[in-house]
Chains A and B, each alone.
Chain A
Amino acid sequence: MYYYIFDPPIGAKEYEKTAHIKELLSSLGIAGEISQPLPGKTVDDLVNNAISKRYSTIVAVGGMQLINAVARSVEPYDIVFGIIPTLPHEDITNLIGTSDWKTAAEQLKRRRWHPVRLGLMNGNTCFLTPAHIEIPMNSAFVLETPEFSVETVGGSIDIIPLKNETTEGSGLRIQLSGGTQPTRGIMGKLFNKKETAPQQSVFTVPEITIHTADPIQVTVAGTPLISTPVRCTTEGKQIRLIVARGGEQ
């Protein structure tokens, strides 16, 4: 029933943690087939293997990179996706209600799942956790949505797929941090009285296109996936993600 894809452990501590996780899964009665990506065997290969063997639940056990890679691979299929994080991360807590591996493993047994939308970049690259773009401070960029455009200079952009339908509809939460105003001249900067005003911007949009002066990497969980310009939407299909009680929105 359960197919586990583990991050290859590095070092004694990770080997120990991997062993503890396997022990816990057995004690919970949810042990299953265990695999890990290797040279010549990608995450896609492992997921295809699980699908061909008719497993109903695929679980990613590892860090953010593996979790996002497995989520991208399982998206086309009608199966349940589980996560056991081996490192605490706020994005994981937001997703499944915990970033503790023991609690996450116990959640798997309850199989309380919730539909979650993936983000989609340039029509073919899915992301489960926020995508991030770091813009140099002297570099202008433009965000375009169906309703408006935003222009600013420098800072960072976080693109967060909304987990499910909200009162605003499905879509993306966009957070801009830092930056300076594009039209401010030197006198404006010298006599700037605006630094006490909130610097962060937050929008919810169905889709967004980001243009930068030069190509800038878009990363998910620290992994560069593509470069700007990038068009982000939410994938039409949802994946069924196992969450903690109260982890649903």
Chain B
Amino acid sequence: MAADQIDTIVGAHVELKGSLRNQGSIQIHGTVIGDVVSDAVVIVGETAHVTGPITAKQVEVSGQVHGSITADEQIELQPKSMVKGDLTTKRLSIKPGAVFIGKSNMTPDASVGMTMDDDGGKKRPRLELE
């Protein structure tokens, strides 16, 4: 996403406590302790640590999230992500290398894409479920 389309950015060296709410997109690279709410996209970067629920239209995670994630449209867990909390969305994509500990709740018209890791001919899922 182009930088000029992101309305709110939490830089890598910042620690934010409280409620981060924005009608536009939110990009997080630092530490957030509290809830994150957007009407658009929330991007959790590789260096980000979020402790608290995330609610948005779409959520893309490359860092760490301890808390639930609710997205109207899609949640995408990138290879280096670690999510500890429940996921609720219409479309869920979990890339190889992502670590997910929690429950996934799929809303109507849901679809799930899980890419399996190919390990010496044996394909194993790269996620853990409670």
Contact = CB atoms under 8 A, between A and B. Distances in A.
Interface of A: 145, 147-153, 155, 167-168, 176, 178-183, 193-195, 197-204
A69 to B, nearest CB: 32
Interface in B24-52: 24, 27, 29-31, 34, 45-47
A193 to B, nearest CB: 8
9 contacts: A145-B18, A148-B16, A167-B24, A194-B12, A198-B29, A201-B10, A201-B11, A202-B7, A204-B7
B15 A194 contact: no
Given A148-B19, A168-B23, A194-B47, A181 B9 contact: no
A147 B20 contact: yes
B116 interface: no
Interface of B: 6-24, 27, 29-31, 34, 45-47
B31 to A, nearest CB: 7
Nearest to A183: B15
B16 A197 contact: no
Contacts of B16: 148-151
A23 to B, nearest CB: 40
A179 B17 CA distance: 18
Given A148-B34, A167-B24, A197 B15 contact: no
